[in-house]
Amino acid sequence: MKIKLIKFWQLLTVFALVLLFFSTGYCQKEQWYGSFTYSVSLPQGDTKEFTDEISWRGIGLDYRYVIDRAYSVGLFFGWNVFYERREGVSEVENGAIYGTSDRTLNLFPIMVNYHYYFGERKSIRPYVGINAGGYIVNQQFAIGIFLWEDDSWQWAVAPEAGVVIPVERDFGLIVNGKYNYAFTGETVFGEDMNNTFWQINVGVVWEP
Amino acid sequence: MKRISYKMSFRKTLSLMLLFIALAFVLNSCYPGEELTYEDTDIVATVYDTEADFSTKLTYALRDTIARVDGDGNLEFEPEAADQQILDKIESELQAIGFTEAASYDVADVLVAAAISQSTWVGGGCYYGWYSYWYPYYGWCYPTYYTYDTGSLLIVMGDGDVPPPAGGGTVEKEGLWVAVINGLLGDNSSSTLNRVLSNIEQAFDQSPYLAEGK
């Protein structure tokens, strides 16, 4: 309970600061814009092996600076939660363990990104881009009355494709898909783990 | 005109900020974690000697009392009410996978014994009431303390074919198979016993190699 709320407040503080930064940038310079998205994630690879459930808990914040009309560089912050309760037998090296296990992954992506936009400003603009950075990862594996927990930083990339749809002069919608791949990381038991997941994000943009 | 635009933008940013904060709270309230029943805390772990040939282990001898491990790690042999049911269950599972009871302890291929330990855990922590979100002092919480009892049943299968030492005395035998059943002790002793019996069955179910050659 304590761990959960402290993380929540830490996250809220980071996002609040980012939002304040957004609003300042937004009011002063029109070449800055931001987006806030809701994320649904589909685990793949090692992530799927650990939690084989779709994640319906995710949010993201983007802050992009448009270099010219077709390119932007920016920052991305997010929070994605994967969870699965699994009951059954797990094979280990020289035996087996039966029980009900709770598996939780909290990923907080922090990435820089680069995007290229097709089409004209103020029109519907498809785009492609790449995010690079990593995740702050909190992984928990609980079985019986035992809990293993680990916090780590995992380097990652996330290619992205999406579309920005203007609605008003300075407001619009954004839909994008990302393939997240961490090329470092390990489980709570010290084994190699590359967190991988597909992600669909839907949200709003300021000053598209 | 610019001034109006600024105000509208500020209003929009503010509303989006509120939207974000609201969603963050919603996300937090949706944070995963389901209630656990006593059964959910049960685990059954089995390990075995991967080089053992269980097809040559056909007979067993089961110790007729269950040892209890006290707080200092010493063994006590004071029978309790449910012990016989636990021993009967272990015996029926051994026979179900093809073992037969040996004529005596000395000629058994495997020696099986059970032990029980019980622990009381005391935990402490913080409970954050709902309105503590607004409390100005970070880290404020209700201090809470709780205790819980856990029990473990250990079933050990040793190799009966190890010859006794030439000079007499005792010999340390290799463990061929060990099962550990652990969980929270419930308020109802009969339901706890049912969980233990069910988990003994699980221990044998997840160890199919014990039935090899029988």
* A40 lies within 8 A of chain B by CB: no
For residue B195, the SS3 value is helix
Indicate the average pLDDT of chain A. 85
Burial class from Cβ neighbours inside 10 Å (0-12, 13-18, 19+) for residue A21 reads middle
Average pLDDT over residues B123-134: 50
DSSP-derived secondary structure letter, A69 = S
Q: Shortest Cα distance from B6 to chain A (angstroms)?
A: 7
The percent of residues above 90 in pLDDT, for chain B, comes to: 33
Write down the pLDDT at residue A146.
80
pLDDT at B157 over 90: yes
Write down the pLDDT at residue B150.
79
Nearest to A105 by CA among A186, A178, A37, A183: A186
Burial class from Cβ neighbours inside 10 Å (0-12, 13-18, 19+) for residue B64 reads exposed
Q: Shortest Cα distance from A47 to chain B (angstroms)?
A: 17
Measured distance CA(A205)–CA(B115) in Å, rounded = 64
Cβ–Cβ gap B13/A99 under 8 Å: no
Most confident of B142-146, B163-167, B171-175, B208-212: B208-212
8 A C-beta contact, residue B157 and residue B112: yes
Write down the pLDDT at residue B130.
45
Mean pLDDT check: name the lowest of A27-31, A169-173, B60-64, B163-167: A27-31
**CA A178 to the chain's CA centroid:** 9
* A98 lies within 8 A of chain B by CB: yes
pTM above 0.90, yes or no: no
Which residue has better confidence, B188 or A54? Answer: A54
Which residue has better confidence, B160 or A74? Answer: A74
Write down the pLDDT at residue A27.
41
Write down the pLDDT at residue B101.
95
Measured distance CA(A166)–CA(A171) in Å, rounded = 6
Most confident of B59-68, B172-181, B188-197: B59-68
Indicate the average pLDDT of chain B. 78
**CA B105 to the chain's CA centroid:** 30
Q: What is the pLDDT of residues A120-138, one digit of tens each?
A: 877 899 999 999 999 999 9
pLDDT band at A20 (very low <50, low <70, confident <90, very high): low
pLDDT at B134 over 60: no
Cβ–Cβ gap B32/A36 under 8 Å: no
ipTM of the complex: 0.72
Which residue has better confidence, B15 or A159? Answer: A159
Write down the pLDDT at residue B138.
45
Measured distance CA(B94)–CA(B99) in Å, rounded = 5
Nearest to A73 by CA among A15, A14, A129, A125: A129
Cβ–Cβ gap A26/B32 under 8 Å: no
DSSP of A94-116: TEEEEEEEEEEEEEEEEEEEEEE
Mean pLDDT check: name the lowest of A83-92, B30-39, B115-124, B125-134: B125-134
Encoding tokens for residue A103? 């598996």
Write down the pLDDT at residue B214.
82
Size of interface A-B (CB pairs under 8 A): 117
Nearest to B20 among A19, A170, A171 (CB): A19
Which residues of B are less than 8 Å from A16 in CB distance? 17, 21
Average pLDDT over residues B66-78: 81
Write down the pLDDT at residue B41.
83
Cβ–Cβ gap B23/A81 under 8 Å: no
Write down the pLDDT at residue B175.
82
pLDDT at B121 over 60: yes
Cβ–Cβ gap A26/B150 under 8 Å: no
Strands B175-184 and B43-48: what pairing? antiparallel
Mean pLDDT check: name the lowest of B82-91, B120-129, B200-209: B120-129
Average pLDDT over residues B83-96: 95
Which residue has better confidence, A152 or A9? Answer: A152
Q: Over the Cα atoms of chain A, what is R_g?
A: 19
Which residues of A are less than 8 Å from B34 in CB distance? 85, 102
Write down the pLDDT at residue A76.
95
pLDDT band at B1 (very low <50, low <70, confident <90, very high): very low
pLDDT band at A28 (very low <50, low <70, confident <90, very high): very low
Cβ–Cβ gap A11/B24 under 8 Å: yes
Nearest to A27 among B10, B49, B207 (CB): B10
Measured distance CA(B167)–CA(B169) in Å, rounded = 7
Write down the pLDDT at residue A45.
94
Which residue has better confidence, B106 or B109? Answer: B109
Write down the pLDDT at residue B3.
45
pLDDT at A98 over 60: yes
Measured distance CA(A165)–CA(A156) in Å, rounded = 28
pLDDT at A94 over 60: yes
